[in-house]
Amino acid sequence: MSLCIKPLNIRGYMKTPEAELFEIAESQQGYFTFQQAIIAGFSDKNHAYHVKVGNWVKVFRGIYRLAKYPVGEREELVLWYLWSRNRLSVPQGVYSHYTALDLYELSDNMPTKLHMTVPLGFRRIAKIPEILILHRVKLQPDEIVMKQGYKVTTPLRALIDVIEAGMLAEDLLVQAVQDAKKKGLITKHIIEANQRYPAKVIAKLLKMMEAAHE
């Protein structure tokens, strides 16, 4: 029988459940899941108590926040990222499309909803929150970047997705490509070397890059 042994701190003492949970929540802008609290050492019977006494704030089903943790920047991104977890409690969602462009500050387009790419087999019994627009696509590991408690597609993948969707005005698309080029987030060499995307989309992206010189 295998035993779960708590890690020791630098002084050789076992970490308290509070310290364990803080370590988890710190990497997620103060947020954590029901399962993560259990892993940290809290009994599942005590969760309601910690909410009642003000230690935790319940923000969604199975998702909490440390009440005294400083408010983060765009922390709603962490909330919905944790919402996308599978049965093994592993988040599946990656922010993409217009939301990714917004996070990289590549366009003046201000999306009112959050675009998230999830695996093809992603399922939810409950209704999808209205703030989310889900795209079911299999992303490759090199198309994903880890941010402050959530994942987002790379700038190149975000631009490819938006071009394929065809829902962003041409001037905003050109602006996004030009901004990405100026910031060094995309290069002609990287685009031309990538063979996984449709040739027509790549050609359009390269044409927009050339327009940046004009």
**For 96-142, what is each residue's pLDDT tens digit?**
999 999 999 998 877 889 999 999 999 988 899 999 999 999 999 99
86 and 182 together in one domain: yes
Whether residues 99 and 12 share a domain: the answer is: no
- In the prediction, which pLDDT does 6 show? 46
Q: Say if residue 61 is in the same domain as residue 83.
A: no
Query: Considering its fold, how many domains does the chain have in total?
Result: 2
CATH code of the domain covering residue 59:
1.10.10
pLDDT digits (tens, 9 = 90+) for 3-27: 344 444 544 456 899 999 999 999 9
Question: Which of 72, 92, 110 is the last residue before a domain boundary?
Answer: 72
Same domain membership, residue 179 and residue 84: yes
Residue 100 and residue 78 in contact, taking contact as beta carbons nearer than 8 Å = no
Judgement on whether residues 37 and 100 belong to the same structural domain of the protein? no
- On the question of pLDDT at 177 being above 70, the answer is yes
Longest dimension (CA), the chain: 68
> Is residue 109 domain-shared with residue 172, that is, in the same domain?
yes
**What is the span of the domain harbouring residue 113?**
76-211
The answer to whether residues 60 and 36 belong to one domain is: yes
Structure-token pair, residue 63? 């998702």
Same-domain status, 84 and 9: no
Match 């899941």 to its residue by tokens. 33
Residues 66 and 145 occupy one common structural domain: no
**Where among 39, 72, 105 does a domain terminate?**
72
Q: Which of residues 30, 49, 72 is at a domain's end?
A: 72
Secondary structure (DSSP) of 118-157 = E-TT---SSPPPTTEEEEE----GGGEEE-SSSEEE-HHH
At 145, is the pLDDT very low, low, confident or very high (cuts 50, 70, 90)? very high
Helix (H, G, I), strand (E, B) or coil at 75: coil
- Same domain assignment for residues 108 and 206: yes
